[in-house]
A = this chain, B = another copy of it.
Amino acid sequence: MIKDLSHFVGQEVTLKGWLYNKRSSGKIKFLILRDGTGLLQCVYFKGNVSDEVFDMADRIGQESSIEVTGKVKAEPRSPGGYELDATGLKIISEAHDYPITPKDHGVEFLMDNRHLWLRSSRQVAIMRIRHRLVKAIRDFFDGRGFTLMDPPILTPAACEGTSTLFETQYFDIGKAYLTQSGQLYAEAGAMALGKVYTFGPTFRAEKSKTRRHLTEFWMVEPEVAFADLNDDMDLAEEFLEYIVQTILNEREEELKILERDTTLLKNVKRPLPRISYDEAVEILKKSGNKFGWGDDFGAPDETVISSQFDRPVMVHRYPSVVKAFYMKRDPENEKLALAVDVLAPEGYGEIIGGSQREDDFDVLLSRIKEHNLPQEAFEWYLDLRRYGSVPHSGFGLGLERTLTWICGLEHVRETIPFPRLIYRNTP
């Protein structure tokens, strides 16, 4: 593979891949080969190869699949640092009129051709960062005694209202809904295994057409028994440091391809600043924002707050009215929920939402009634408080939003192989 060429300098090799680009300079043809592991410039001199091969090198179109043979040379000016002094060329399948040319294309056109767009260097770089981020996330939890708990996708009831749920008929036993979060199931897991994490696709049928929303996205959700809000924040900051520093160390080349300025990413180290919701409201007021206590932050508010810090900021203790029914109240102020959101710098907004969970049976039951949730559907969840309830906490991190931030992208749509948006479920 192209990534292994450093071990073959001076040797003749044969490589298979696709023609990424080509250019011509009199009696020399430069074919850029891609094989999924890198790019390689293959140089064909008219005198060194047969006329047939030289003509072929001239003729074949972008994305033709080919086999090239030649001698590996170190060449610092080439992409990847090596070059092939080519002697042979075979066509596996000749392509013509490949739709995505080195020219600029509109986003909708690229999205329609997502299956081909994925071949471009930029998309390959994002997918390689995504893969490494997924691995870093799993390594973090696997290395700290957490057990993976895959939650169900098809769930019987709505956690946060049915209006934003995808529903499907489930045989003859009623409707099922695509999960919005594995958290409630993770709580059952934490009572069985102490520390667990879920990591899978989640769904929101929200009619949000912003650059931050996908209808289908991956979320990782750790849940820890015997952990309070402070433990939760400790875990979140250690986690963020680990995953961001891992990507900086292991995907430097890909971040360069994306032209990502990594200055602020390098700051993602413990401790992360922790401010209360009240303090965040003060920041907004000082910035001239007419923000009323008790409201939730919108995206512009998050940008104002996060711009005060040189790394992600944790905002804790939100008004309970803007937070979910399962969050524990602050014993020192019943109006506050023991919640925390982590806001990324550079306007990327919330990447983590977490909380200590309500562990008192009676309080949780009254909360379920207040929210007009169907009690029967939550009996199993109440059982976690009937039998051996313990303080516990957790959080959720959206994979694609985090990737958008780490990669420095304009829109979340490039962070997942086949994005699903309210106006698109193809290809």
Residues of chain A having any CB pair with chain B under 8 Å: 1, 3, 16-19, 35-37, 63-65, 92-93, 95, 98, 113-116, 118-119, 123-124, 127-128, 130-131, 134-135, 138, 142, 145, 147-156, 166-171, 173-174, 176, 178, 185, 188-195, 200-201, 203, 205, 207, 215-216, 218, 225-226, 359, 380-381, 383-390, 416-418, 420, 422-427
Contacts and interface: CB of A to CB of B under 8 A. Distances in A.
A65 B390 contact: yes
A426 to B, nearest CB: 5
B215 A154 contact: yes
How many copies of the shown chain assemble into the complex? 2
Given A131-B148, A156-B427, 20 more contacts: A16-B226, A18-B191, A37-B194, A63-B387, A63-B388, A95-B386, A98-B387, A115-B380, A128-B147, A150-B201, A152-B418, A154-B425, A166-B169, A167-B169, A168-B168, A171-B207, A171-B423, A173-B424, A200-B200, A380-B427
Given A168-B166, A216-B153, A390 B425 contact: no
Contacts of A131: 142, 147-148
A403 to B, nearest CB: 11
Instruction: Name the residue among A64, A148, A156, A200 with the largest chain B CB count within 10 angstroms.
Output: A148
A193 B147 contact: no
B16 A192 contact: no
Contacts of A171: 205, 207, 422-423
A193 B115 contact: no
Contact of A154 (B216, B386, B388): B216
B168 A92 contact: no
B420 A152 contact: yes
A190 B18 CA distance: 12
A93 B388 contact: yes
A250 B189 CA distance: 21
A135 B130 contact: no
B119 A417 contact: no
9 contacts: A17-B194, A36-B194, A115-B185, A124-B192, A155-B425, A171-B422, A173-B425, A189-B417, A200-B200
